[in-house]
Amino acid sequence: MKLLLIEDEKPLSDALCQILSKKRWEVAAAYDGEQGLDEALTGIYDMILLDIMLPKLDGLSLLRQLRAASVSTPVLLLTAKGEVGDKVLGLDSGADDYLAKPFATEELLARIRAMTRRYGEIIPDSILRAGDLALDLSNYTLECDGQSVQLTNKEFEIMKQFFLRLHGIVNKEELLTKLWGFENAAAGNNLEVYISFLRKKMAYLGSHMRIACIRSVGYRLEEPPCSAN
């Protein structure tokens, strides 16, 4: 999962980035409202953690501009303003949830999990299955018939998209944007490399599943039809 943290207090930002990274989430940090808005408008993030008191552009103004631009990325407001009126204003400005500072790390993580479940990024079960393969969401492993291999962050994100859209096509441009934030020849080559890595790991596990290339469109995780006798 790709998170954007917009927080101007660098020590707090660094601490939160470290905590979130330990959960195997990919985190990008912005330290003022203008930089945060530029990042958020890309639409590549699965969730945004947004402070209200920011230099250059305050969090609520940022949020309103984001929603006006039809960017629907879930936003969790982080702020020292904890009065009911402040919460209502934040939610009415387009936030999805609100957490007042200071907050416990456990509560922050719980709210992130709850929001991502709500928006379909995290599946309630910790293991996804496709044919003879299983993808463990808790430890980034791919399993088949009692054997398992460890996946890197990007391998995991690619494979998760295949599992979530089993038998459906995963668009190449969408994968590029989700993993690298842009589409160009270099990123396209990188994607091909990761697909090759995944195919090798599936072969090592002895899986019958395959990653099929749909020319000019994307990829699909599928099980080849049985050969005729």
Asked if residue 76 lies in contact with residue 49, where contact means CB atoms within 8 angstroms, the answer is yes
SS3 40: helix
Residue 99's domain comprises 2-118
If asked whether residues 109 and 153 sit together in one domain, one would say: no
- pLDDT value at position 197? 94
If asked whether residues 97 and 18 sit together in one domain, one would say: yes
Question: What is the C-alpha to C-alpha distance for residues 52 and 66, in angstroms, rounded to an integer?
Answer: 14
Q: Is the pLDDT of residue 59 over 60?
A: yes
Question: What is the C-alpha to C-alpha distance for residues 96 and 90, in angstroms, rounded to an integer?
Answer: 9
Residue 226 pLDDT grade (very low, low, confident, very high; cuts 50, 70, 90): low
If asked whether residues 111 and 215 sit together in one domain, one would say: no
If asked whether residues 199 and 177 sit together in one domain, one would say: yes
Please report, rounded to a whole number, the percentage of residues in the chain having pLDDT higher than 70. 88
Please report, rounded to a whole number, the percentage of residues in the chain having pLDDT higher than 90. 38
**Strand intervals (E) in 112-187:** 127-130, 133-136, 141-144, 147-150, 170-171
Question: What is the C-alpha to C-alpha distance for residues 113 and 116, in angstroms, rounded to an integer?
Answer: 5
**CATH code, domain carrying 38:** 3.40.50.2300
If asked whether residues 19 and 112 sit together in one domain, one would say: yes
- pLDDT value at position 118? 65
DSSP string, 51-113: ESS-SSS-HHHHHHHHHHTT----EEEEES--SHHHHHHHHHTT-SEEEESS--HHHHHHHHH
If asked whether residues 154 and 76 sit together in one domain, one would say: no
Name the maximum alpha-carbon separation found in the chain: 72
If asked whether residues 38 and 110 sit together in one domain, one would say: yes
Collect all residues with Cβ–Cβ distance below 8 Å to 10 and sequence separation of at least 6.
Answer: 31
Which of 90, 118, 146 is the last residue before a domain boundary? 118
Q: What is the CA radius of gyration of the chain?
A: 20
Please state the φ and ψ torsions of residue 163, each to the nearest 5 degrees. -70, -40
Residue 176 pLDDT grade (very low, low, confident, very high; cuts 50, 70, 90): confident
Q: How many structural domains are present in the chain?
A: 2
Mean pLDDT is lowest, of 60-64, 99-103, 180-184, for: 180-184
Q: What is the pLDDT of residues 115-127, one digit of tens each?
A: 876 665 544 457 8
Question: What is the C-alpha to C-alpha distance for residues 119 and 142, in angstroms, rounded to an integer?
Answer: 24
Residue 229 within a domain:
no
**CATH code, domain carrying 214:** 1.10.10.10
- pLDDT value at position 84? 65
If asked whether residues 111 and 6 sit together in one domain, one would say: yes
Sheet bearing 26-30, strands edge to edge: 26-30, 2-6, 47-51, 75-79, 97-100
Which of 118, 135, 168 is the last residue before a domain boundary? 118
Q: Is the pLDDT of residue 149 over 50?
A: yes
If asked whether residues 158 and 102 sit together in one domain, one would say: no
Average pLDDT over residues 53-66: 92
Which of 118, 149, 179 is the last residue before a domain boundary? 118
Question: What is the C-alpha to C-alpha distance for residues 35 and 37, in angstroms, rounded to an integer?
Answer: 5
If asked whether residues 149 and 175 sit together in one domain, one would say: yes
